[in-house]
Amino acid sequence: MLAVILSGGSGTRLWPLSREAYPKQFLPVMSGDSLLAETITRGLGLGNDTRIMAITNEEHRFVVAAHLQSQAAGHTEGIILEPVGRNTAPAIALAALAAADKNPEELLLVMPSDHVLRQDEAFRKAVARGAEVAQAGKLVTFGIVPESPHTGYGYIKSGEERGGYLDVAAFVEKPDLPTAESYLSTGGYFWNSGIFLFRADRYLEELERHRPEMLEACRAAWANKQADMDFVRVDRKAFEACPDDSIDYAVMEKTSDAVVVPLDAGWSDVGSWSALWEILPQDSNGNVCRGDVITEDVSGSYIHSEGRLIAALGVSDHVIVETDDVVLVADRSRVQDVKMLVAQVKAQGRSEHRFHKKVHRPWGTYEGIAMGGRFQVKRIMVNPGAQLSLQKHHHRAEHWVVVRGTAIVNRGEEELMLTEDQSTYIPLGVTHRLKNPGVIPLELIEVQTGSYLGEDDIVRFEDTYNRT
C-alpha cells in the first residue's frame, strides 16, 4: 500500500498560529508532533510494507522533506511538487501515475496532512476493510460516524449495506442546521472525511471516463517530469492547463463504483479554533488552556500562549491566541470569520498572514528580534552540515556574531572559521556564504544595516537547494 499524503494546503483558519508559509499541518496542534508527523506515523502504522508519498508545493517542499527524512527514511516513494494548485483530483492523478509506473494495481490510501484521528486501531481496522473492497476494484471513501449535526462538513448518504461497507447513494454539500439534524435523526449519513482508498489503475480509469481532459493534462505533466534532489517536478505548462477540481466532484460523485466504509476513530479536520476546543481536554470550567495562562472566572474558552503570559478575567466562550507578533481575541462562535481579519492584514500590505517571526528555510530558521529605520536584528540557526546560498546584497551590510557552534564564512576571496563569541562583518555588495560544519546547530546574531532590508535583496550565485 502507498500512503499518499496531500500537503499542499496553506489555509489560515487557525491564524495566527497557522500562516501561509507555515500552515497548520506543520504545527504541533494536538501533541508534541505536527499534524503532518502524526499523519506519517499513521500511514507507517498500517504495516511494514506501507510506503509514504507526499504531494506538496514549491514553498513547503523542504519542511515536508524534513518530516519524511526524520520519520519515514527507507519507506518513502518521493515527493511530487505541484507547480500550481489544481485541487485534489489532479494531485491524486499524479500519485496514481507514479504508482502505475511500477504497479498499476497498487493500492493508494489518500490522506490529508492536517486532520486529527485519535483512535489509531479503529483507523487500521477500517483501512483493512477498505483494502479488501478496493482490491476488488471499488473506490472507497471513509465516512465519519457523525457525533453531532455539524454544518461545517459535507455529508455522504449511504445506500445498501454490503457487509463492512455500504454503497454511496450521494455526496451532499454542507447543510444548514435543520437539514443536518434531519440527517442524524434519519441515519445513514456520514461526514465526508476526505480520505480515500483505491487501486491506481481504477482511479485513472474512472478519471479518464469522467474527466478525460484532466487526465490528459496530468499525463502530459508527468511525462515531462524532472528529478530535483528528493523531489519530482512535473511539467509546469502542462499542469497549468489542467482543470481545477476536487476528487469528489471529478470522480467520486460520478462513478458507479464508489463505496463508503464507516470510520469512528475520533476524527476532526481541525477546521477552526472552536473545533480544536471541542477535541482537546477541557478543565472543570470548560476551558482549554495551553502555554503560560492564568484565568479567573473564565469558562468555555480556548486560550493559547506561545510565549507571553495570558491573564484572562471574567470572559466566556472566547478564543485568545498569542504568538510573538499577533494576539487574536475572538468570540468562539465567530472563529470561522478569522479569514476576514486575515483579509484585512493582507489589504494593509502587512506580512503577518504569511510569515511567523521565525521563518523556516531549508538550511534552518531565522527570527526577527528588532527593527528600526535603517537596521534589523535577527537570530539565525543553521542546521548541522547545512549552508546558505552564495549571495550578495545591493542595499545592506551584515554583522555576524556566533553565539553557539562553529561557522565557516566565505567573504569575498576569504574563508574564515568562527567559534562562539567571535564575529565578522560583510560589507555591502560583497559575495558571502555561511556554513555549519559541525554536529550541533549553529546559532548567530545578525545585525543588518542599510537603506533597504527586505528579503528580496538577495542575488544568489550558487545554492545547495536549487532555489532561484
pLDDT of residue 350: 92
Contact (Cβ atoms closer than 8 angstroms) between residue 120 and residue 280: no
pLDDT of 321 over the 80 cut: yes
pLDDT of residue 38: 95
pLDDT of residue 163: 84
Which of 70-74, 326-330, 398-402 has the weakest average pLDDT? 70-74
Q: Higher model confidence: residue 74 or residue 305?
A: 305
**Alpha-carbon dihedral sign for residues 126, 128, 133, 138:** positive
Q: How far apart are CA 466 and CA 38, in angstroms?
A: 29
pLDDT of 329 over the 80 cut: yes
Which of 313-317, 382-386, 439-443, 452-456 has the weakest average pLDDT? 452-456
Pick from 198, 228, 197: which is nearest to 466 by CA? Answer: 228
pLDDT digits (tens, 9 = 90+) for 91-133: 999 999 999 999 999 999 999 999 999 999 999 999 999 999 9
pLDDT of 293 over the 80 cut: yes
| Cα 119 versus chain centre, distance | 21
pLDDT of residue 209: 96
pLDDT of residue 31: 84
- Mean pLDDT over 18-41 rounds to 92
- Mean pLDDT over 73-88 rounds to 92
Q: What percent of the chain has pLDDT over 90?
A: 86
pLDDT of residue 108: 97
pLDDT of residue 411: 96
Pairing of the two strands 76-82 and 231-233: parallel
Contact (Cβ atoms closer than 8 angstroms) between residue 446 and residue 418: no
pLDDT of residue 198: 97
pLDDT of 12 over the 90 cut: no
pLDDT of residue 348: 96
User: 131-142: string of b/e by CB count within 10 Å (b at 16+)?
Assistant: bebbeeebbbbb
pLDDT digits (tens, 9 = 90+) for 296-320: 999 999 999 999 999 999 999 999 9
Q: What percent of the chain has pLDDT over 70?
A: 100
CATH architecture of 358-462: Sandwich (2.60)
pLDDT of residue 32: 86
Q: What's the mean per-residue pLDDT of the chain?
A: 94
Contact (Cβ atoms closer than 8 angstroms) between residue 28 and residue 14: no
- Mean pLDDT over 280-286 rounds to 96
Domain ranges of the chain: 2-268, 284-346, 358-462
pLDDT digits (tens, 9 = 90+) for 423-446: 999 999 999 999 999 999 999 999
pLDDT of 20 over the 80 cut: yes
CATH topology of domain 2-268: Spore Coat Polysaccharide Biosynthesis Protein SpsA; Chain A (3.90.550)
Q: Higher model confidence: residue 40 or residue 164?
A: 40
pLDDT of residue 151: 87
Neighbouring residues of 204: CB distance < 8 A, sequence distance ≥ 6: 93, 96, 97, 100, 215
- Mean pLDDT over 155-172 rounds to 91
Q: How far apart are CA 431 and CA 113, in angstroms?
A: 39
pLDDT of 330 over the 80 cut: yes
- Mean pLDDT over 271-297 rounds to 95
- Mean pLDDT over 373-380 rounds to 94
Provide the Cα torsion 317, 323, 325, 327; round to 10°.
10
- Mean pLDDT over 50-78 rounds to 92
pLDDT of residue 432: 97
pLDDT of 49 over the 90 cut: no
Q: In this structure, how many other beta carbons lie within 10 angstroms of the beta carbon of residue 30? A: 17
pLDDT of 258 over the 90 cut: yes
Place of cell 512535473: 234
Phi, psi (rounded to 5 degrees) for 106: -60, 135
pLDDT of residue 228: 86
Could you tell me the pLDDT band of residue 421, with boundaries at 50, 70 and 90?
Answer: very high
Pairing of the two strands 76-82 and 51-57: parallel
